[in-house]
Structure 1
Amino acid sequence: MQSDPIFKTSAAADAANLREYDTEYADFSWDAARKLIDGLPGGGINIAYEAIERHVLTGHGPQIALRWIAKSGERTDITYAELSLLTNRFANVLHNCGLEKGARVYSLLGRTPELYIAALGSLKAGCIFCPLFSAFGPEPIHARMEIGGANALVTTTRLYKRKISDLRDRLPELRTVLLTDGDVEGGDPLPPLMAEASEMFQTERMKPEDTALLHFTSGTTGKPKGVVHVHEAVVAHHITGRLALDLKPGDSYWCTADPGWVTGTSYGIIAPLTNRVTMIVDEGEFDVARWYEILANEAINVWYTAPTAIRMLMKAGGKAAKGHDFTALRFMASVGEPLNPEAVVWGNDVFGMPFHDNWWQTETGGIMIANFASMAVRPGSMGKPIPGIEAGIVEISKDGATELTKPMAIGELALRPGWPSMMRGYLHEDARYRKCFLDGWYLSGDLAMRDADGYFWFVGRSNDLIKSSGHLIGPFEVESALMEHEAVAEVGVIGIPDDTAGERVKAYVALKPGFEASDALLLELIGHARKKLGPAVAPKEIVFRENLPKTRSGKIMRRLLKTRELGLPEGDISTLESDER
């Protein structure tokens, strides 16, 4: 892997927020990072204050905070000053409904301004905010609202009728439903309540360890896990947005993630606003032509998206990008699952700059490892740890966790605890939370390697690792090799039991338009993989699929491929987006 091509960054890297990695990593302190946020006058902390009020108080109220692009293409601009007043009104609505500090406010909305106002208004009121993805079905919604003890829900009349009304009797703690666009039995119309509410509101003074956000992540089996984050997480959101995404005040920034996922909250709301950028929010779903138009027409400076979306753009071909002006674009980043090397190369070919992969989890709350604007990019690598984060590769045995220092040794990716956005618990699951820590390390559950220069390389989830004839095979490596073939759009790789080898490698492949599944193509792909990987690592079996099972955030569900292969219980599949059995 260390011999892979190294992409130098663009000339804009000379003005990057993080210019010299080794020096800034050595000099960094979280105390210094805390001084980059203001804190409330007179003491206390509140994420919403750092995202909005401090900019208004320093004269930046007229700057556009959020530009919303409706499905129709119509644009609506909300300035920081207007966002301050709208979130004040929403905070007052919550208080007028009897929801005080610590109440749990959920949202079930598409990417509309009301979602962003509800998120920030809830935090401003001292409530705990939990976003739900609007495409969830009733049972995933019920599980998350039940676990979190939802007190209030902000949603639309359509979503309420289809997904919530039949759940009310099973949610005894749900006292208030606010409807953004109508009035039905069981809900209160939000627009008149907003109109009647005062524009004056004193932001609640919160303690650093007060709970602010609740995000859910799927469990391998059983119910989803509620991940708890606190107001001090804003320190990490702010500094990682500045260092890992190179956000600068006044930037035009587009994070394509829905706030129903942690990326869409941490880096689709908090990090950009605390860094005083203009956020572009698109209500529409993925569309190749629309995305290229947004990048060009909104003069996007920083673009944060997902590998699935990048692969879909690649699938459409480079011609789709022709005729658009991307000269404003200076930094592109990817998150959600490992970014295959060919996607990094493709970005360089089409946009004149590579995509910068980074790694983090719902549990870490913010970016932990990244390819920085000023660093050379090694395609396929996650990059290096954020300043303030100590990362290591550890081996777990009955004696504990032992750090592996040999370059490219495979082990579990682990972090030293203590950063501000680290989860403070799994809701109601203390024992499960404690199992994440061992011998002074947070155990991520991801397998990785670290090369001699300190770059980290993703191997797979610890339960994804394939052990075949004495070889340890990471599915990502096999997937990346197959992705290099011109016919391949997506790949999922698993290990299945084998009497002789222990496990054998099996790949599920979805093809690009214009390519048909055939025995000839199957043999070609097997030969391609053997040439790239060698016979010990290459898949012994390849199956063509129309689609691969993916979460709604775009991750290919290898676990689901394997459980179906073995006829095992599927566990929590509430986040499943696409599937072709």
Structure 2
Amino acid sequence: MNGIDHYKEIRKNFQWNVPDDFNFGRDVVDRYASDRSKVAFFYEDARGVAAKYTFWEVSRISDRLGNVLQGLGVKAGDPVLLLLQNVPEWYFCMAAGTKIGAVMIPCSDQLRPKDLIYRAQHSGARTIISWDAKSGEVDQIRKECPGLVNFLCVGQRKPGWLSFQDELAKASQVLMFRKGKASEPALVYYTSGTTGNPKAVMHSHFYTGAHWVTGKYWIDLEPTDLFWCIAGTGWAKAAWSVLFGPWNCGATTFLYNAPFDAKKGLDLLERYEITVLCAPPTAYRAFVKEDLSRYNLSKLRHCVGAGEPLNPEVIKTWSEAYGLTIHDGYGQTETINLVANYPGIPVKPGSMGLPTPGHEVAVIDDKGIEVPPGDIGEIAVKGRPPSIFMGYWKDEEKTRECFRGDWYMTGDRAYRDQDGYFFFVGRGDDVIISAGYRIGPFEVESALLEHPAVVESAVVSSPDELRGEIVKAYVVLRSGFEASDALKKELQDHVKKVTAPYKYPRNIVFVEELPKTSSGKIRRVELRNSEWKRS
């Protein structure tokens, strides 16, 4: 059976089997802990400090931590803020939280005090677990967040904080597990919006198990794999690829705690003999600028890209170096993996792939009708599969707004080709309408990236009296190239040659770097908003 036929067979026979009760800590972590030698994860930091933990060790530590939290008064359904870097304690906290039924709220370590204040006040959390370097910022918000009463510090002991290590050492090993339903809340991620406050995306306990689909049908994980996802643990992608996806499949993970560096990343891939890699496009773009022939990645068998679409030319360079095609995938904070280049199916450069098992995904118009192949519309998921979020916590209006009839509306724009493959265009507010033409920023960015002078680019709309909007590109140049009007003209002509001429950037600005989230996504919203504020 070829890849496409196998994919169709899996899709045809797939059924969601939702148990009445599901507990990730008990049903996944503790199940694999029955083999005391099975490694859960390897860890290394910027100083070279390394460690290895088995599932048995994670199980026992999370049991004790569950007792610590219960001793602080944390009950099933209570929110707990988690402000940690990529450290082992993050795994222990997530496992313990599911075991006792707490609603865990991972937060990026790049958040500022005002961000923490909003999350603490909105969630009503009484407990926060933070690493020592952030304790000072947390101390700054205590007066504005009187509801926060339990402060647990990972790392050095801090005045006014309970020591994570000390409390763990005192805790009982025997834990009373949560008794509840798979449909009850387990996890909240605050996702940044283009306007207003972040939305609180709430997921059920079954969501943590549903990522088996992500791990199996996109990341292609087996129990013998060593898997590295380059992502910060404060982001939803960590749930996908650092924890729930791989551990549901019994795979071992690698956790690296340091700022991303391409040379170091390639060295780690070689030294640890990583077999499966998930990385954002930013990381792959940085990798392909290095001399890839210097690194022996012969153990690497499968690669996936996530966070935003991956440029076809980067996929080509990586394939030429290692004989591996990067399999793009698509999902949101609100969902598990929805569209993917399924292992074994033909990969079309620039495409996100086909819908994953258990999901009916389409491109629809404003009336909820599926659009013809080639037409741009909004990506939508039919029905309410158990793999998508419960709703926006404490905001029924926003929850209702993202559903249209039978469809969950993602807010992302795309088109499908005749074979059903999805091609990402942009967020709904990223699409540029210039003189009646609809232009997706990603296709212009990809065209620019094919030019040897360009390292990265971000394309946004800019107001124009004649056309309403024009395409504007912010470009980071490769070393050895200098900004000039002549180069601008060369880049414009280049885009006209490799894509439809009307899509070329009428304005180009050369910059040293682009604004990004800590997970590596380009923040086009910052650039776009600055354009329209000036108008």
Question: Which TM-score bucket, shorter chain as reference?
Answer: over 0.9
Given candidates 310, 327, 348, the residue that maps to 1:378 is: 348
**Residue of structure 2 in register with 1:113 after alignment:** 88
Given candidates 315, 325, 329, the residue that maps to 1:344 is: 315
Alignment deviations for residues 135-189 of structure 1 (CA, whole Å, 9 cap, x no partner): 221111221222112221111233111x110111211221211011233332111
Given candidates 365, 373, 388, the residue that maps to 2:358 is: 388
How far the C-alpha of 1:70 sits from its partner, in A, is 2.1
How far the C-alpha of 1:418 sits from its partner, in A, is 2.0
How far the C-alpha of 1:96 sits from its partner, in A, is 1.4
| 2:75 maps to amino acid | E
**Residue of structure 1 in register with 2:12 after alignment:** 26
**Residue of structure 1 in register with 2:33 after alignment:** 56
Structure 2: how far apart are the matches of 1:206 and 1:304? 33
**Residue of structure 1 in register with 2:456 after alignment:** 490
Alignment of 1:44 with 2:18, yes or no, is no
How far the C-alpha of 1:239 sits from its partner, in A, is 2.1
**Residue of structure 1 in register with 2:207 after alignment:** 233
Given candidates 155, 166, 177, the residue that maps to 2:130 is: 155
**Alignment length (residue pairs):** 535
**Residue of structure 1 in register with 2:378 after alignment:** 412
**Residue of structure 2 in register with 1:445 after alignment:** 411
How far the C-alpha of 1:206 sits from its partner, in A, is 2.6
**Residue of structure 1 in register with 2:492 after alignment:** 526
CA contact (8 A) 1:338 1:357 kept: yes
**Residue of structure 2 in register with 1:357 after alignment:** 328
How far the C-alpha of 1:568 sits from its partner, in A, is 6.8
| 1:358 maps to amino acid | G
The DSSP-based 3-state class of the residue aligned with 1:372 is: coil
* Structure 2: gaps of 5 or more residues: none
Distance 1:368 1:534, change over 3 A: closer
* Structure 1: gaps of 5 or more residues: 1-12, 570-581
Structure 2: how far apart are the matches of 1:494 and 1:112? 36
Displacement over 6 Å in runs of 4+: none
Structure 1: how far apart are the matches of 2:442 and 2:430? 10
Given candidates 40, 48, 56, the residue that maps to 1:73 is: 48
Alignment deviations for residues 313-361 of structure 1 (CA, whole Å, 9 cap, x no partner): 22x33x1x33322111111001111111111112201221111110000
Alignment of 1:470 with 2:462, yes or no, is no
1:535-554 alignment, distance < 5 Å: 535-554=501-520
Structure 2: how far apart are the matches of 1:256 and 1:542? 31
Structure 1: how far apart are the matches of 2:529 and 2:168? 48
1:492-507 alignment, distance < 5 Å: 492-507=458-473
CA contact (8 A) 1:45 1:205 kept: no
The DSSP-based 3-state class of the residue aligned with 1:258 is: coil
| 2:55 maps to amino acid | Y
| 1:50 maps to amino acid | D
| 2:370 maps to amino acid | E
Alignment of 1:208 with 2:189, yes or no, is no
Over aligned residues, Cα RMSD in angstroms? Answer: 1.8
Structure 2: how far apart are the matches of 1:560 and 1:69? 33
**Residue of structure 1 in register with 2:244 after alignment:** 270
CA contact (8 A) 1:50 1:274 kept: no
How far the C-alpha of 1:44 sits from its partner, in A, is 2.4
| 1:370 maps to amino acid | A
CA contact (8 A) 1:19 1:374 kept: no
Distance 1:329 1:173, change over 3 A: same
How far the C-alpha of 1:19 sits from its partner, in A, is 7.5
Structure 2: how far apart are the matches of 1:69 and 1:185? 28
| 1:497 maps to amino acid | P
Comparing 353-362 with 138-147, which one deviates more in the overlay?
138-147
* TM-score where L is the length of structure 2: 0.97
How far the C-alpha of 1:293 sits from its partner, in A, is 1.5
1:131-146 alignment, distance < 5 Å: 131-146=106-121
How far the C-alpha of 1:533 sits from its partner, in A, is 2.1
How far the C-alpha of 1:28 sits from its partner, in A, is 1.1
CA contact (8 A) 1:479 1:493 kept: yes
CA contact (8 A) 1:147 1:427 kept: no
Distance 1:19 1:62, change over 3 A: farther
Structure 1: how far apart are the matches of 2:522 and 2:294? 32
How far the C-alpha of 1:83 sits from its partner, in A, is 0.7
How far the C-alpha of 1:371 sits from its partner, in A, is 0.5
Structure 1: how far apart are the matches of 2:176 and 2:377? 49
Structure 2: how far apart are the matches of 1:106 and 1:480? 38
**Residue of structure 2 in register with 1:430 after alignment:** 396
Alignment of 1:421 with 2:387, yes or no, is yes
Given candidates 230, 244, 258, the residue that maps to 1:256 is: 230
Distance 1:234 1:109, change over 3 A: closer
CA contact (8 A) 1:494 1:561 kept: yes
CA contact (8 A) 1:235 1:420 kept: no
Structure 1: how far apart are the matches of 2:184 and 2:436? 48
CA contact (8 A) 2:32 2:38 kept: no
CA contact (8 A) 2:214 2:240 kept: no
Structure 1: how far apart are the matches of 2:5 and 2:46? 39
CA contact (8 A) 1:494 1:562 kept: yes
Structure 1: how far apart are the matches of 2:195 and 2:270? 43
Distance 1:466 1:543, change over 3 A: same
The DSSP-based 3-state class of the residue aligned with 2:303 is: strand
**Residue of structure 1 in register with 2:198 after alignment:** 224
The DSSP-based 3-state class of the residue aligned with 2:316 is: helix
Percentage identity across paired residues of the two chains: 36
Alignment deviations for residues 463-485 of structure 1 (CA, whole Å, 9 cap, x no partner): 11111222111111111101111
**Residue of structure 2 in register with 1:181 after alignment:** 155
How far the C-alpha of 1:276 sits from its partner, in A, is 1.1
The DSSP-based 3-state class of the residue aligned with 2:493 is: helix
CA contact (8 A) 1:236 1:419 kept: no
CA contact (8 A) 2:84 2:233 kept: no
The DSSP-based 3-state class of the residue aligned with 2:383 is: coil
Alignment of 1:83 with 2:58, yes or no, is yes
Alignment deviations for residues 207-239 of structure 1 (CA, whole Å, 9 cap, x no partner): 011100000111111111110000011332112
Structure 1: how far apart are the matches of 2:283 and 2:469? 31
* TM-score where L is the length of structure 1: 0.89
Structure 2: how far apart are the matches of 1:253 and 1:193? 31
Given candidates 217, 222, 225, the residue that maps to 1:243 is: 217
Comparing 179-188 with 211-220, which one deviates more in the overlay?
179-188
Structure 1: how far apart are the matches of 2:534 and 2:66? 46
| 1:267 maps to amino acid | S
Structure 2: how far apart are the matches of 1:136 and 1:258? 12
